[in-house]
Amino acid sequence: MRDFDLLVIGGGSGGLAAAQRAAGYGARVALFEPKRLGGTCVNVGCVPKKVMWNAAELAAALEHAPYYGFDVRTGGHDWAKLKQGRDAYVQRLNGIYERNLDKRGVVAVRAEARLRSTTELVDTTGEVYRAKHIVIATGGRPKLPAVPGVELGITSDGFFDLTGLPRRSAVVGSGYIAVELAGVLRALGSEVSLFLRHDAVLRRFDSLLSDKLMAAMRGSGIEVVTGMTTRALTREAGGDLVLAAVDGRSFAKFDTVLFAVGRAPNTAGFGLDHAGVALDADGFVTVDRYQNTSVPGIYAVGDVTGQAELTPVAIAAGRRLADRVFGGQAERHLSYDVIPTVVFSHPPIGTVGLSEQAARERYPGEAIRVYTSEFVSMFYALMDLKPQTAMKLVTVGADERVVGCHVIGLGADEMIQGFAVAVTMGARKRDFDDTVAIHPTSAEELVTMR
Ligand SMILES: Cc1cc2nc3c(=O)[nH]c(=O)nc-3n(C[C@H](O)[C@H](O)[C@H](O)COP(=O)(O)OP(=O)(O)OC[C@H]3O[C@@H](n4cnc5c(N)ncnc54)[C@H](O)[C@@H]3O)c2cc1C
């Protein structure tokens, strides 16, 4: 039996953050991770995805360059080379995470952990660890539809294993992962069809973002098929994949079918039931605002809790939990109210706070005022191509507190973080108006809206 102050199950964004912050306070910490350190974000999420998005942006830049006087000739794109560079970068990050744990004195156990009781874990070699505090940070995994032939398709995990550009790709799903991966495939030269169960992408986002992105995706040559629920996936004699829909339609000749239909929490098979940790109807660990589960001394952070499944959210929840439990900050916790996020689509989306519809539902009877702006970024001034940038501010009450700020267009990804500070601080529309614009930028539109 090895004694610690804290045991952390999972070496992804949330687990690493909680472990390192707790060790910083002098806690004796062991962290369990059987796979590569860094979890989803580093290995099959944000990091390799952003590398692919950068490549896609470069492909667009090469097309735009002639308008700025460049005579550009490329010998095509080498997917294998890009993958090699990307994988090497991720591997370097894995090493950095390992060394960081070491530096902070966190014991990294490279094995799966299972709860033996409310204070004890056992690893796959049978060694037992005990602590008063246990953090569950086991994250999630891609869901697959329960249809025949689903094993012929891939998920976002498989996307990062692709060794070459698929000639014709089908992407099934409407969330941010689906639109991001569809966008990358298209920009790098694949013929892409995107299959939506309903009639829009990003249905939980403000409708302005959803509408504009759908139009932009169609404009980029992506075929967007709506009202499609998958019935089966089959392979034809020649090797091509065929997607069959429940309404009888069928879509043929794909060489890759990627399902991005949501993520399921990793909560099975490691004794959560044994310890009495309560799960919600979808299998996520139930937590209160302090990340406490139903069992005293057992906490959960990150995707496994199903709240705003994003890396900085998992990190913030993990760090604040450690601040509270080991840093003497009794009230420290993460507020999930204002979470900024970026969708790395083409064009990108930056968004923080409530959509217009969510604001109307959250504040019934209060005045909701909406400001919008649509324009073409000056970047395209010399080109025939005129993609629209669109912005929306959602305000509440007579003093017009800004509760939502939504942008789609060139630069939105790097624009939104600063506005998220303003929204988090409770800025009013007049604070935006009183801010001196930066010219010529797209962002200045956000402080000059009438
Ligand atoms: C394609 C894709 C793109 C994304 N892009 C972004 C983005 O741009 N920005 C963003 O903020 N977020 C993004 N995300 C989401 C982000 O990756 C997650 O929100 C984040 O990784 C959650 O961290 P976590 O610590 O909760 O879980 P994870 O990072 O999933 O880590 C959980 C870890 O627990 C381990 N584990 C599971 N069971 C056990 C066990 N029994 N014992 C020991 N270890 C165990 C797993 O091996 C895993 O390493 C993306 C996700 C995907 C899939």
- Is position 346 annotated as part of the catalytic site? no
Confidence tier at 1 by pLDDT (50, 70, 90) = confident
For 87-98, how does the pLDDT look when each residue is reduced to its tens digit (9 = 90+)?
A: 999 999 999 999
As a whole number, mean pLDDT of residues 54-76 equals 95
- What band does 74 get if pLDDT is binned at 50, 70 and 90? confident
Instruction: Report the pLDDT value the prediction gives residue 421, as an integer from 0 to 100.
Output: 98
* Contacts of residue 126, Cβ cutoff 8 Å, sequence gap at least 6: none
Q: From the CA of 249, how far away is ligand 1's center (Å)?
A: 35
Residues 6+ apart with CB under 8 A from 132: 5, 119, 297
Reported as a single tens digit per residue, the pLDDT across 119-162 is 999 999 999 999 999 999 999 999 999 999 999 999 999 999 99
- Which residues lie below 8 Å from residue 14, measured CB to CB, with a gap of 6+? 39, 135, 137, 139, 301, 302, 303, 304, 314, 315, 317, 318
Strand partners, 266: none
Relative to the CA of 138, which ligand 1 atom is closest? 34
* pLDDT above 70 as % of the chain: 100
Give the per-residue pLDDT at 97.
97
Mode of pairing for the β-strands spanning 256-259 and 168-172: parallel
pLDDT digits (tens, 9 = 90+) for 317-342: 999 999 999 999 999 999 998 999 99
Q: Which amino acid is present at 349?
A: I
d(CA 33, CA 14): 12
Contact 287, 293 (CB under 8 A): yes
Alpha carbon nearest to ligand 1 atom 26, residue: 302
This prediction has a pTM of 0.97
Provide the pLDDT confidence category of residue 71 given band limits of 50, 70 and 90. very high
CA of 196 to the centre of ligand 1 (A): 25
- The edge-to-edge listing of strands for the beta sheet with 168-172 is 223-225, 191-195, 168-172, 256-259
pLDDT in tens, 20-48: 999 999 999 999 999 999 999 999 999 99
- Spatial distance between the Cα atoms of 412 and 390, rounded to a whole number of angstroms: 10
pLDDT tens profile 339-364: 999 999 999 999 999 999 999 999 99
- Give the H/E segment covering residue 404: strand 401-408
For the four alpha carbons of 159, 165, 168 and 174, in that order, the dihedral sign comes to positive
pLDDT, tens digit, 9 for 90 and up, residues 370-408: 999 999 999 999 999 899 999 999 999 999 999 999 999
* Residue to substitute in 32, 41, 263 for testing ligand 1 pocket (most ligand atoms within 8 angstroms of CB): 41
